[in-house]
Chain A
Amino acid sequence: MSRPRSTGLPRWVYVPAGLGAAFVLLPLVAIVLKVDWANFGSLITSESSRDALSLSLRTSTASTVLCVLIGVPMATVLARTTFPGQAVARSLVLLPLVLPPVVGGLALLYTFGRRGLLGHTLEVLDLQIAFSTIAVVLAQTFVALPFLVVSLEGSLRTAGDQYERVAATLGAGPTTVFRRVTLPLVLPGLLAGAVLSFARAMGEFGATITFAGSLQGVTRTLPLEIYLQRESDPDAAVALALVLVVFAVVVITIARPDRTTR
Protein backbone atom coordinates (compact mmCIF):
# COMPACT_ATOMS: atom_id res chain seq x y z
CA MET A 1 0.00 0.00 0.00
CA SER A 2 2.81 2.45 0.81
CA ARG A 3 4.62 1.75 -2.45
CA PRO A 4 5.86 4.87 -4.24
CA ARG A 5 3.65 5.92 -7.14
CA SER A 6 6.62 5.88 -9.48
CA THR A 7 6.24 2.11 -10.06
CA GLY A 8 3.32 3.13 -12.24
CA LEU A 9 1.45 -0.16 -12.04
CA PRO A 10 -2.26 0.41 -12.67
CA ARG A 11 -4.42 -0.74 -9.77
CA TRP A 12 -6.70 -2.87 -11.97
CA VAL A 13 -3.79 -5.12 -12.90
CA TYR A 14 -4.07 -6.71 -9.46
CA VAL A 15 -7.54 -8.06 -10.23
CA PRO A 16 -6.63 -10.35 -13.17
CA ALA A 17 -3.30 -11.09 -11.49
CA GLY A 18 -5.12 -12.21 -8.36
CA LEU A 19 -7.58 -14.28 -10.38
CA GLY A 20 -4.66 -15.87 -12.20
CA ALA A 21 -2.97 -16.71 -8.92
CA ALA A 22 -6.19 -18.27 -7.63
CA PHE A 23 -6.52 -20.26 -10.86
CA VAL A 24 -3.09 -21.79 -10.27
CA LEU A 25 -3.31 -22.15 -6.50
CA LEU A 26 -6.85 -23.53 -6.07
CA PRO A 27 -6.12 -26.86 -7.82
CA LEU A 28 -3.09 -27.26 -5.55
CA VAL A 29 -5.23 -26.55 -2.49
CA ALA A 30 -7.77 -29.08 -3.81
CA ILE A 31 -5.04 -31.74 -4.04
CA VAL A 32 -3.80 -31.03 -0.54
CA LEU A 33 -7.36 -31.29 0.79
CA LYS A 34 -7.76 -34.70 -0.90
CA VAL A 35 -4.69 -36.18 0.79
CA ASP A 36 -5.36 -38.98 3.26
CA TRP A 37 -2.94 -37.65 5.89
CA ALA A 38 -3.46 -40.54 8.32
CA ASN A 39 -1.91 -42.97 5.82
CA PHE A 40 0.25 -40.48 3.96
CA GLY A 41 3.53 -41.94 5.23
CA SER A 42 2.70 -45.52 4.33
CA LEU A 43 1.21 -44.53 0.97
CA ILE A 44 4.35 -42.77 -0.24
CA THR A 45 6.78 -45.31 1.20
CA SER A 46 5.23 -48.45 -0.32
CA GLU A 47 7.67 -50.47 -2.40
CA SER A 48 6.17 -49.40 -5.73
CA SER A 49 6.17 -45.73 -4.67
CA ARG A 50 9.80 -45.84 -3.55
CA ASP A 51 10.80 -47.61 -6.78
CA ALA A 52 9.00 -44.97 -8.82
CA LEU A 53 10.51 -42.04 -6.93
CA SER A 54 14.00 -43.49 -7.07
CA LEU A 55 13.68 -44.26 -10.78
CA SER A 56 12.39 -40.73 -11.47
CA LEU A 57 15.29 -39.16 -9.59
CA ARG A 58 17.88 -41.32 -11.36
CA THR A 59 16.48 -40.90 -14.87
CA SER A 60 15.87 -37.16 -14.43
CA THR A 61 19.45 -36.69 -13.25
CA ALA A 62 20.76 -38.66 -16.21
CA SER A 63 18.62 -36.74 -18.68
CA THR A 64 19.64 -33.40 -17.15
CA VAL A 65 23.30 -34.33 -17.59
CA LEU A 66 22.55 -35.28 -21.20
CA CYS A 67 20.69 -32.00 -21.70
CA VAL A 68 23.70 -30.03 -20.42
CA LEU A 69 26.16 -32.02 -22.51
CA ILE A 70 24.31 -31.45 -25.77
CA GLY A 71 22.28 -28.36 -24.88
CA VAL A 72 25.21 -26.07 -23.99
CA PRO A 73 26.88 -26.51 -27.38
CA MET A 74 23.51 -26.12 -29.13
CA ALA A 75 22.70 -22.87 -27.29
CA THR A 76 26.19 -21.52 -27.92
CA VAL A 77 26.00 -22.23 -31.64
CA LEU A 78 22.56 -20.59 -31.82
CA ALA A 79 23.62 -17.52 -29.82
CA ARG A 80 27.15 -16.90 -31.06
CA THR A 81 27.15 -17.85 -34.72
CA THR A 82 25.13 -17.09 -37.81
CA PHE A 83 24.42 -19.73 -40.37
CA PRO A 84 21.85 -20.18 -43.10
CA GLY A 85 18.57 -21.51 -41.80
CA GLN A 86 19.29 -20.45 -38.23
CA ALA A 87 15.75 -19.24 -37.60
CA VAL A 88 14.39 -22.58 -38.77
CA ALA A 89 16.93 -24.44 -36.62
CA ARG A 90 15.87 -22.43 -33.57
CA SER A 91 12.20 -23.24 -34.17
CA LEU A 92 12.99 -26.93 -34.59
CA VAL A 93 14.91 -27.00 -31.31
CA LEU A 94 11.82 -25.57 -29.60
CA LEU A 95 9.52 -28.13 -31.22
CA PRO A 96 9.38 -30.56 -28.27
CA LEU A 97 7.96 -27.68 -26.17
CA VAL A 98 4.81 -27.47 -28.28
CA LEU A 99 4.62 -31.06 -29.48
CA PRO A 100 2.22 -33.18 -27.40
CA PRO A 101 4.50 -35.54 -25.44
CA VAL A 102 2.65 -38.55 -26.84
CA VAL A 103 3.65 -37.43 -30.34
CA GLY A 104 7.23 -37.04 -29.11
CA GLY A 105 7.02 -40.61 -27.80
CA LEU A 106 5.78 -41.87 -31.15
CA ALA A 107 8.57 -40.01 -32.95
CA LEU A 108 11.13 -41.60 -30.64
CA LEU A 109 9.52 -44.99 -31.21
CA TYR A 110 9.83 -44.55 -34.98
CA THR A 111 13.46 -43.59 -34.50
CA PHE A 112 14.85 -45.82 -31.76
CA GLY A 113 12.19 -48.57 -31.73
CA ARG A 114 13.00 -52.08 -32.89
CA ARG A 115 11.43 -51.31 -36.26
CA GLY A 116 12.41 -47.65 -36.26
CA LEU A 117 14.91 -45.73 -38.39
CA LEU A 118 17.85 -46.72 -36.19
CA GLY A 119 16.33 -50.01 -35.05
CA HIS A 120 18.53 -52.15 -37.27
CA THR A 121 21.71 -50.26 -36.34
CA LEU A 122 20.93 -50.61 -32.64
CA GLU A 123 20.28 -54.31 -33.10
CA VAL A 124 23.68 -54.76 -34.78
CA LEU A 125 25.24 -52.95 -31.82
CA ASP A 126 23.24 -55.26 -29.52
CA LEU A 127 21.57 -52.26 -27.87
CA GLN A 128 18.05 -53.01 -26.67
CA ILE A 129 16.31 -49.70 -26.01
CA ALA A 130 12.67 -50.79 -26.01
CA PHE A 131 11.25 -51.15 -22.48
CA SER A 132 14.57 -50.16 -20.89
CA THR A 133 15.51 -47.34 -18.53
CA ILE A 134 17.54 -45.86 -21.41
CA ALA A 135 14.25 -45.31 -23.24
CA VAL A 136 12.96 -43.31 -20.25
CA VAL A 137 16.09 -41.14 -20.26
CA LEU A 138 15.77 -40.55 -24.01
CA ALA A 139 12.12 -39.54 -23.66
CA GLN A 140 12.90 -37.16 -20.80
CA THR A 141 15.90 -35.64 -22.59
CA PHE A 142 13.80 -35.09 -25.70
CA VAL A 143 11.16 -33.06 -23.86
CA ALA A 144 13.53 -31.29 -21.43
CA LEU A 145 16.24 -30.18 -23.84
CA PRO A 146 14.44 -27.06 -25.15
CA PHE A 147 14.18 -25.65 -21.61
CA LEU A 148 17.96 -25.69 -21.26
CA VAL A 149 18.67 -24.41 -24.76
CA VAL A 150 16.15 -21.57 -24.51
CA SER A 151 17.24 -20.27 -21.12
CA LEU A 152 20.94 -20.59 -21.91
CA GLU A 153 20.64 -18.94 -25.31
CA GLY A 154 18.82 -16.05 -23.63
CA SER A 155 21.60 -15.70 -21.05
CA LEU A 156 24.29 -15.81 -23.76
CA ARG A 157 22.59 -13.06 -25.76
CA THR A 158 22.04 -10.88 -22.67
CA ALA A 159 25.64 -11.31 -21.59
CA GLY A 160 26.93 -10.23 -25.00
CA ASP A 161 30.31 -11.19 -26.39
CA GLN A 162 32.51 -8.20 -25.45
CA TYR A 163 34.40 -10.12 -22.73
CA GLU A 164 34.97 -12.98 -25.11
CA ARG A 165 36.43 -10.59 -27.71
CA VAL A 166 38.67 -9.01 -25.10
CA ALA A 167 39.90 -12.43 -24.00
CA ALA A 168 40.56 -13.36 -27.61
CA THR A 169 42.58 -10.17 -28.23
CA LEU A 170 44.63 -11.05 -25.16
CA GLY A 171 45.60 -14.28 -26.87
CA ALA A 172 43.18 -16.85 -25.42
CA GLY A 173 42.20 -19.67 -27.78
CA PRO A 174 38.53 -20.38 -28.55
CA THR A 175 38.34 -23.30 -26.11
CA THR A 176 39.92 -21.27 -23.31
CA VAL A 177 37.52 -18.39 -23.99
CA PHE A 178 34.55 -20.75 -23.94
CA ARG A 179 35.68 -22.46 -20.73
CA ARG A 180 37.08 -19.49 -18.79
CA VAL A 181 34.88 -16.61 -20.00
CA THR A 182 31.65 -17.71 -21.69
CA LEU A 183 30.60 -20.49 -19.32
CA PRO A 184 31.31 -18.62 -16.04
CA LEU A 185 29.46 -15.60 -17.43
CA VAL A 186 26.27 -17.55 -18.11
CA LEU A 187 26.55 -20.01 -15.24
CA PRO A 188 23.40 -18.70 -13.47
CA GLY A 189 21.41 -19.09 -16.70
CA LEU A 190 22.87 -22.55 -17.22
CA LEU A 191 21.94 -23.60 -13.69
CA ALA A 192 18.42 -22.23 -14.07
CA GLY A 193 18.06 -24.05 -17.39
CA ALA A 194 19.38 -27.29 -15.92
CA VAL A 195 16.97 -27.10 -12.98
CA LEU A 196 14.04 -26.45 -15.32
CA SER A 197 15.09 -29.40 -17.49
CA PHE A 198 15.29 -31.57 -14.40
CA ALA A 199 11.81 -30.47 -13.34
CA ARG A 200 10.41 -31.15 -16.81
CA ALA A 201 12.05 -34.58 -16.81
CA MET A 202 10.54 -35.39 -13.39
CA GLY A 203 7.07 -34.56 -14.72
CA GLU A 204 7.48 -36.36 -18.06
CA PHE A 205 4.60 -38.72 -18.77
CA GLY A 206 3.31 -38.94 -22.33
CA ALA A 207 6.52 -39.64 -24.20
CA THR A 208 7.62 -42.14 -21.56
CA ILE A 209 4.43 -44.21 -21.54
CA THR A 210 4.34 -44.22 -25.36
CA PHE A 211 7.99 -44.98 -25.97
CA ALA A 212 9.35 -46.76 -22.88
CA GLY A 213 6.40 -48.69 -21.48
CA SER A 214 5.69 -49.10 -17.79
CA LEU A 215 7.38 -51.63 -15.50
CA GLN A 216 8.08 -51.17 -11.81
CA GLY A 217 11.70 -50.23 -11.13
CA VAL A 218 12.61 -50.18 -14.83
CA THR A 219 10.42 -47.71 -16.70
CA ARG A 220 7.58 -46.78 -14.33
CA THR A 221 8.49 -43.28 -13.20
CA LEU A 222 6.56 -41.32 -10.60
CA PRO A 223 4.03 -39.78 -13.03
CA LEU A 224 3.32 -43.21 -14.54
CA GLU A 225 2.92 -44.69 -11.05
CA ILE A 226 0.45 -41.93 -10.16
CA TYR A 227 -1.54 -42.62 -13.34
CA LEU A 228 -1.62 -46.36 -12.59
CA GLN A 229 -2.45 -46.03 -8.89
CA ARG A 230 -5.39 -43.82 -9.83
CA GLU A 231 -7.06 -46.99 -11.16
CA SER A 232 -6.85 -49.04 -8.00
CA ASP A 233 -5.80 -46.80 -5.11
CA PRO A 234 -6.74 -43.14 -5.64
CA ASP A 235 -5.43 -42.25 -2.15
CA ALA A 236 -1.95 -43.42 -3.10
CA ALA A 237 -2.18 -41.52 -6.38
CA VAL A 238 -3.07 -38.29 -4.57
CA ALA A 239 -0.31 -38.78 -1.99
CA LEU A 240 2.28 -39.35 -4.73
CA ALA A 241 0.92 -36.39 -6.68
CA LEU A 242 1.55 -34.20 -3.65
CA VAL A 243 5.13 -35.48 -3.44
CA LEU A 244 5.61 -34.50 -7.09
CA VAL A 245 3.99 -31.08 -6.53
CA VAL A 246 6.18 -30.32 -3.49
CA PHE A 247 9.20 -31.42 -5.48
CA ALA A 248 8.26 -29.19 -8.41
CA VAL A 249 7.70 -26.17 -6.15
CA VAL A 250 11.11 -26.63 -4.52
CA VAL A 251 12.81 -26.98 -7.90
CA ILE A 252 11.08 -23.96 -9.44
CA THR A 253 11.91 -21.83 -6.39
CA ILE A 254 15.57 -22.73 -6.75
CA ALA A 255 15.50 -21.94 -10.45
CA ARG A 256 13.74 -18.58 -10.21
CA PRO A 257 15.79 -16.34 -12.50
CA ASP A 258 15.72 -13.22 -10.27
CA ARG A 259 17.27 -15.26 -7.49
CA THR A 260 20.04 -16.63 -9.65
CA THR A 261 20.92 -13.82 -12.02
CA ARG A 262 20.81 -10.82 -9.70
Chain B
Amino acid sequence: MTPPRRSRVLALVAATALAVPLAGCGAEDTKGSDQTLTVYAAASLTGTFTELGQQFEATHPGVTVSFSFGGSSDLVSQIQGGAPADVFASADLKNMDKLSADQGSTPVAFASNTLEIVTPPDNPGKVDSLDDLADQDLAIAVCAPEVPCGSAAATVAAAAGITLAPDTEEQSVKDVLAKVSSGEADAGLVYVTDARAAGAGVNGITFPESASAVNVYPITTLKDSKNPDLAAAFMAFVSSTEGQAVFAAAGFAPAP
Protein backbone atom coordinates (compact mmCIF):
# COMPACT_ATOMS: atom_id res chain seq x y z
CA MET B 1 0.00 0.00 0.00
CA THR B 2 1.55 3.28 -1.09
CA PRO B 3 0.31 6.45 0.50
CA PRO B 4 -1.34 7.84 -2.68
CA ARG B 5 -3.38 4.69 -3.13
CA ARG B 6 -4.49 4.76 0.47
CA SER B 7 -5.67 8.31 0.13
CA ARG B 8 -7.57 7.33 -3.01
CA VAL B 9 -9.30 4.55 -1.08
CA LEU B 10 -10.17 7.02 1.65
CA ALA B 11 -11.56 9.43 -0.89
CA LEU B 12 -13.73 6.66 -2.32
CA VAL B 13 -15.00 5.76 1.14
CA ALA B 14 -15.73 9.41 1.87
CA ALA B 15 -17.51 9.87 -1.43
CA THR B 16 -19.64 6.77 -0.80
CA ALA B 17 -20.46 7.93 2.70
CA LEU B 18 -21.61 11.26 1.31
CA ALA B 19 -23.53 9.75 -1.58
CA VAL B 20 -25.54 7.19 0.39
CA PRO B 21 -27.61 9.63 2.45
CA LEU B 22 -28.07 11.83 -0.61
CA ALA B 23 -29.41 8.87 -2.56
CA GLY B 24 -31.71 8.12 0.35
CA CYS B 25 -33.17 11.63 0.17
CA GLY B 26 -33.76 11.38 -3.54
CA ALA B 27 -35.50 8.04 -3.27
CA GLU B 28 -37.89 9.33 -0.66
CA ASP B 29 -38.90 12.28 -2.79
CA THR B 30 -39.61 10.25 -5.88
CA LYS B 31 -41.75 7.46 -4.39
CA GLY B 32 -45.19 8.52 -5.51
CA SER B 33 -47.26 6.00 -3.58
CA ASP B 34 -45.93 6.99 -0.15
CA GLN B 35 -47.70 9.73 1.72
CA THR B 36 -46.56 11.75 4.68
CA LEU B 37 -49.04 13.14 7.15
CA THR B 38 -47.71 16.07 9.17
CA VAL B 39 -49.26 16.44 12.61
CA TYR B 40 -48.66 19.49 14.82
CA ALA B 41 -49.46 18.61 18.40
CA ALA B 42 -49.10 20.15 21.86
CA ALA B 43 -45.99 19.07 23.77
CA SER B 44 -48.10 17.32 26.41
CA LEU B 45 -49.32 14.93 23.71
CA THR B 46 -45.81 13.76 22.76
CA GLY B 47 -46.09 10.28 24.26
CA THR B 48 -49.67 9.51 23.25
CA PHE B 49 -49.50 10.93 19.73
CA THR B 50 -46.23 9.14 18.98
CA GLU B 51 -47.94 5.88 19.89
CA LEU B 52 -51.06 6.78 17.88
CA GLY B 53 -48.83 7.62 14.91
CA GLN B 54 -47.25 4.17 15.04
CA GLN B 55 -50.66 2.48 15.21
CA PHE B 56 -51.94 4.64 12.35
CA GLU B 57 -48.92 3.78 10.20
CA ALA B 58 -49.48 0.06 10.92
CA THR B 59 -53.07 0.22 9.64
CA HIS B 60 -52.26 2.55 6.71
CA PRO B 61 -49.41 1.01 4.69
CA GLY B 62 -47.31 3.53 2.82
CA VAL B 63 -48.25 6.35 5.19
CA THR B 64 -45.65 8.06 7.34
CA VAL B 65 -46.87 10.23 10.18
CA SER B 66 -44.40 12.93 11.11
CA PHE B 67 -44.90 15.03 14.22
CA SER B 68 -43.94 18.50 15.34
CA PHE B 69 -44.46 18.82 19.08
CA GLY B 70 -44.32 22.19 20.79
CA GLY B 71 -46.18 24.76 22.85
CA SER B 72 -49.70 25.20 21.42
CA SER B 73 -49.24 28.96 20.95
CA ASP B 74 -45.96 28.43 19.07
CA LEU B 75 -47.57 25.83 16.83
CA VAL B 76 -50.49 28.15 16.03
CA SER B 77 -48.05 30.92 15.10
CA GLN B 78 -46.18 28.52 12.82
CA ILE B 79 -49.40 27.31 11.16
CA GLN B 80 -50.54 30.90 10.63
CA GLY B 81 -47.10 31.57 9.16
CA GLY B 82 -47.73 28.90 6.53
CA ALA B 83 -46.18 25.80 8.13
CA PRO B 84 -47.18 22.68 6.13
CA ALA B 85 -49.33 20.96 8.75
CA ASP B 86 -52.20 18.58 7.96
CA VAL B 87 -53.55 18.16 11.48
CA PHE B 88 -53.29 20.33 14.60
CA ALA B 89 -54.00 19.19 18.15
CA SER B 90 -53.95 21.90 20.81
CA ALA B 91 -53.58 21.64 24.57
CA ASP B 92 -56.39 24.15 25.08
CA LEU B 93 -59.39 25.70 23.35
CA LYS B 94 -57.92 29.20 23.53
CA ASN B 95 -55.08 28.47 21.13
CA MET B 96 -57.33 26.43 18.85
CA ASP B 97 -59.68 29.42 18.64
CA LYS B 98 -56.85 31.51 17.19
CA LEU B 99 -57.27 29.57 13.94
CA SER B 100 -60.03 31.09 11.85
CA ALA B 101 -62.74 29.11 10.07
CA ASP B 102 -60.91 29.29 6.74
CA GLN B 103 -57.78 27.77 8.27
CA GLY B 104 -59.18 24.67 9.93
CA SER B 105 -62.20 22.38 10.13
CA THR B 106 -64.52 22.42 13.15
CA PRO B 107 -62.39 21.29 16.10
CA VAL B 108 -63.34 18.14 17.98
CA ALA B 109 -62.49 17.64 21.66
CA PHE B 110 -60.77 14.28 22.18
CA ALA B 111 -59.36 14.27 25.72
CA SER B 112 -59.17 16.26 28.91
CA ASN B 113 -56.74 16.67 31.74
CA THR B 114 -56.86 17.98 35.28
CA LEU B 115 -54.27 19.20 37.74
CA GLU B 116 -52.61 17.15 40.42
CA ILE B 117 -50.23 18.05 43.25
CA VAL B 118 -46.77 16.55 42.92
CA THR B 119 -44.07 16.37 45.59
CA PRO B 120 -40.63 14.79 45.65
CA PRO B 121 -41.00 11.03 46.34
CA ASP B 122 -40.17 11.45 50.05
CA ASN B 123 -42.54 14.44 50.38
CA PRO B 124 -40.22 16.52 52.63
CA GLY B 125 -42.84 19.28 53.05
CA LYS B 126 -45.48 16.74 54.25
CA VAL B 127 -47.91 18.11 51.66
CA ASP B 128 -51.30 16.35 51.54
CA SER B 129 -53.84 18.89 50.28
CA LEU B 130 -54.16 21.99 48.14
CA ASP B 131 -54.15 24.13 51.30
CA ASP B 132 -50.46 23.30 51.78
CA LEU B 133 -49.67 25.16 48.56
CA ALA B 134 -50.63 28.39 50.33
CA ASP B 135 -47.90 27.78 52.92
CA GLN B 136 -45.26 30.53 52.70
CA ASP B 137 -42.65 28.30 54.34
CA LEU B 138 -42.76 25.64 51.65
CA ALA B 139 -41.03 25.97 48.28
CA ILE B 140 -43.91 25.87 45.79
CA ALA B 141 -43.63 25.72 41.99
CA VAL B 142 -46.57 26.47 39.70
CA CYS B 143 -46.97 27.62 36.10
CA ALA B 144 -47.10 31.37 35.42
CA PRO B 145 -50.69 32.69 35.02
CA GLU B 146 -49.82 33.61 31.41
CA VAL B 147 -49.60 29.95 30.35
CA PRO B 148 -52.54 27.47 30.34
CA CYS B 149 -51.39 25.33 33.30
CA GLY B 150 -50.95 28.53 35.32
CA SER B 151 -54.44 29.81 34.64
CA ALA B 152 -55.73 26.37 35.62
CA ALA B 153 -53.74 26.62 38.87
CA ALA B 154 -55.30 30.02 39.58
CA THR B 155 -58.77 28.60 38.92
CA VAL B 156 -58.40 25.68 41.34
CA ALA B 157 -56.94 28.00 43.98
CA ALA B 158 -59.93 30.31 43.62
CA ALA B 159 -62.30 27.33 43.84
CA ALA B 160 -60.59 26.21 47.05
CA GLY B 161 -60.64 29.76 48.42
CA ILE B 162 -56.86 29.91 48.96
CA THR B 163 -54.04 32.12 47.71
CA LEU B 164 -51.16 30.12 46.29
CA ALA B 165 -47.72 31.02 47.67
CA PRO B 166 -45.47 30.22 44.70
CA ASP B 167 -41.70 30.55 44.98
CA THR B 168 -41.42 30.23 41.22
CA GLU B 169 -43.87 30.62 38.33
CA GLU B 170 -42.56 28.45 35.56
CA GLN B 171 -43.01 28.62 31.81
CA SER B 172 -44.43 25.14 31.36
CA VAL B 173 -45.70 22.19 33.29
CA LYS B 174 -42.50 20.28 32.45
CA ASP B 175 -40.47 23.02 34.16
CA VAL B 176 -42.62 22.71 37.29
CA LEU B 177 -42.13 18.95 37.23
CA ALA B 178 -38.36 19.39 36.90
CA LYS B 179 -38.25 21.72 39.92
CA VAL B 180 -40.19 19.19 42.00
CA SER B 181 -38.43 16.02 40.87
CA SER B 182 -35.04 17.65 41.53
CA GLY B 183 -36.16 18.35 45.09
CA GLU B 184 -35.82 22.13 44.73
CA ALA B 185 -39.53 22.60 45.28
CA ASP B 186 -41.55 20.89 48.02
CA ALA B 187 -44.66 20.77 45.87
CA GLY B 188 -46.00 21.80 42.50
CA LEU B 189 -49.13 21.72 40.39
CA VAL B 190 -48.93 19.72 37.15
CA TYR B 191 -51.37 17.79 34.96
CA VAL B 192 -52.32 14.27 36.00
CA THR B 193 -50.70 12.94 32.81
CA ASP B 194 -47.38 14.64 33.55
CA ALA B 195 -47.35 13.22 37.06
CA ARG B 196 -48.04 9.76 35.69
CA ALA B 197 -45.35 10.09 33.01
CA ALA B 198 -42.83 11.07 35.70
CA GLY B 199 -43.41 7.68 37.35
CA ALA B 200 -41.50 7.16 40.58
CA GLY B 201 -39.70 10.49 40.16
CA VAL B 202 -42.52 12.29 41.93
CA ASN B 203 -45.33 11.55 44.33
CA GLY B 204 -48.79 12.50 42.99
CA ILE B 205 -51.65 13.75 45.17
CA THR B 206 -55.11 14.26 43.70
CA PHE B 207 -57.39 16.90 45.18
CA PRO B 208 -61.14 17.50 44.78
CA GLU B 209 -60.85 21.14 43.64
CA SER B 210 -59.07 19.99 40.45
CA ALA B 211 -62.53 19.42 38.92
CA SER B 212 -62.96 23.19 38.67
CA ALA B 213 -60.29 23.47 35.94
CA VAL B 214 -60.70 20.81 33.30
CA ASN B 215 -58.35 21.32 30.37
CA VAL B 216 -59.87 20.19 27.07
CA TYR B 217 -57.74 19.07 24.10
CA PRO B 218 -59.22 19.82 20.66
CA ILE B 219 -58.02 18.56 17.27
CA THR B 220 -58.66 19.89 13.76
CA THR B 221 -57.66 19.24 10.16
CA LEU B 222 -56.15 22.16 8.31
CA LYS B 223 -57.64 23.56 5.11
CA ASP B 224 -54.25 23.88 3.38
CA SER B 225 -53.56 20.17 3.83
CA LYS B 226 -52.41 18.30 0.71
CA ASN B 227 -53.82 15.07 2.18
CA PRO B 228 -57.29 16.07 3.43
CA ASP B 229 -58.63 12.50 3.42
CA LEU B 230 -55.68 11.15 5.36
CA ALA B 231 -55.90 14.07 7.79
CA ALA B 232 -59.57 13.36 8.41
CA ALA B 233 -58.78 9.66 8.90
CA PHE B 234 -56.15 10.48 11.52
CA MET B 235 -58.51 12.86 13.30
CA ALA B 236 -61.18 10.14 13.39
CA PHE B 237 -58.61 7.63 14.66
CA VAL B 238 -57.78 9.88 17.61
CA SER B 239 -61.41 9.79 18.73
CA SER B 240 -61.85 6.06 17.98
CA THR B 241 -61.96 3.36 20.65
CA GLU B 242 -58.33 2.36 19.99
CA GLY B 243 -57.23 5.98 20.10
CA GLN B 244 -59.08 6.71 23.32
CA ALA B 245 -57.49 3.64 24.96
CA VAL B 246 -54.06 5.23 24.42
CA PHE B 247 -55.16 8.44 26.16
CA ALA B 248 -56.76 6.56 29.05
CA ALA B 249 -53.53 4.61 29.58
CA ALA B 250 -51.59 7.86 29.81
CA GLY B 251 -53.96 9.26 32.44
CA PHE B 252 -56.08 11.53 30.27
CA ALA B 253 -59.80 11.74 31.02
CA PRO B 254 -62.31 11.51 28.14
CA ALA B 255 -63.44 14.74 26.50
CA PRO B 256 -66.38 16.24 28.40
Interface, chain A (partner B; CB < 8 A): 109, 113-115, 130-131, 209-210, 212-216, 219-220, 227-229, 231-233
Assembled-state Cα–Cα distance A220/B169 (Å): 9
User: Is B171 an interface residue, CB under 8 A from the partner?
Assistant: yes
Complex: how many Å from CA A115 to CA B124?
12
Bound form: Cα–Cα A113–B144 in Å: 22
Once bound together, how far apart are the Cα atoms of A231 and B144, in whole Å? 10
From known contacts A130-B139, A232-B146, infer whether A213 and B183 are also in contact, taking CB-CB under 8 Å: no
Nearest first, the 5 A-B pairs at minimum CB distance are A213-B168, A232-B146, A131-B167, A115-B183, A130-B184
Closest chain B residue to A231 by CB distance?
A: B146
Which A residues are in CB contact (< 8 Å) with B184? 109, 113-115, 130-131, 213
Does B147 lie at the interface of the complex (its beta carbon under 8 Å from any beta carbon of A)? yes
B60-77: which residues lie under 8 A (CB-CB) from chain A?
71, 73
A-B contact number at CB 8 A:
58
Establish whether residues A214 and B169, one from each chain, have CB atoms under 8 Å apart when the complex forms: yes
**6 residue pairs from A and B, CB less than 8 Å apart:** A109-B182, A109-B184, A130-B184, A131-B167, A214-B144, A215-B167
List the A side residues contacting B185 at CB < 8 Å: 130-131
Residue of B nearest to A119 (CB): B183
Which residues of A lie under 8 Å from residue B141 when comparing CB positions?
213
Q: Quick check: A228 and B146 within 8 Å, CB to CB?
A: yes
Min Cβ gap A22→B in Å is: 22
Chain B neighbourhood of A209, CB < 8 A:
171, 175
Nearest-neighbor residue (CB-CB) of B168 within chain A: A213
Q: Are A219 and B168 in contact (CB under 8 A)?
A: yes
Residues of A within 8 A of B144 (CB): 214, 228, 231
* Cα separation A231 to B148 with both chains bound (whole Å): 10
15 new A-B pairs (CB below 8 Å) besides A113-B183, A210-B178, A215-B167?
A: A109-B182, A113-B182, A113-B184, A114-B183, A209-B171, A209-B175, A213-B168, A214-B144, A214-B169, A214-B170, A215-B169, A227-B171, A228-B144, A231-B171, A232-B146
Within 8 A of A (CB), among B145-203: 146-147, 166-171, 175, 178-179, 182-185
- Residues of B close to A214: CB separation below 8 A: 144, 168-171
From A212, which residue of chain B is reached at the shortest CB distance?
B168
Contacts of A215 in B (CB 8 A): 166-169
Interface size class of B (residues with CB under 8 A): 20 to 34
Question: Whole-angstrom distance from the CB of A218 to the nearest CB of chain B?
Answer: 8
Looking at the assembled complex, report how far the CB atom of B168 sits from the nearest CB atom of chain A, in whole angstroms: 3
Report Cα–Cα, A215/B73, bound state, in Å. Answer: 22
A234 nearest in chain B by CB position: B77
Q: Is the CB of B73 within 8 A of A213?
A: no
Contact A231–B168 (Cβ < 8 Å): no
Instruction: Point out the residues of chain A lying under 8 angstroms from B146, CB to CB.
Output: 228-229, 231-233
Please name all residues of chain A whose beta carbon is closer than 8 Å to the beta carbon of B179 when the two chains form the complex.
213
Q: How far is the CA of A113 from the CA of B167 in the complex (A)?
A: 14
Q: A109-B182, A130-B184 are in contact. Are A213 and B170 (CB under 8 A)?
A: yes
Neighbouring B residues of A231 by C-beta, 8 Å? 71, 73, 144, 146-147, 171
Q: Please name all residues of chain A whose beta carbon is closer than 8 Å to the beta carbon of B171 when the two chains form the complex.
A: 209, 214, 227-228, 231
Question: Closest CB-CB distance, B234 to chain A, in whole Å?
Answer: 28
Chain B residues positioned under 8 Å from A109 (CB to CB): 182, 184
A219 to chain B, nearest CB (A): 7
Measured CA separation A229–B146 after assembly (Å): 7
What's the nearest-Cβ distance from chain B to residue A199, in Å?
24
Interface centre among A115, A130, A227 (most CB of B within 10 A): A130
Q: In whole Å, how far is A81's beta carbon from the nearest beta carbon of chain B? A: 39
Partner of A131, one of B73, B139, B178, B182: B139
CB of A5 to closest CB in B, whole Å: 42
In the bound complex, residues from chain B placing their C-beta under 8 Å from that of A233 are: 146
Query: A20: shortest Cβ distance to chain B, in Å?
Result: 26
Task: Give chain A residues whose Cβ lies under 8 Å from the Cβ of B170.
Answer: 213-214
* C-alpha spacing A216/B71, complex, angstroms: 22
How distant is B150 from chain A, measured CB to nearest CB, in Å?
9
Residues of B within 8 Å of A228, CB to CB, are 144, 146-147, 171
Neighbour of B168 across the interface among A113, A131, A227, CB < 8 A: A131
B residues near A229, Cβ cutoff 8 Å: 146
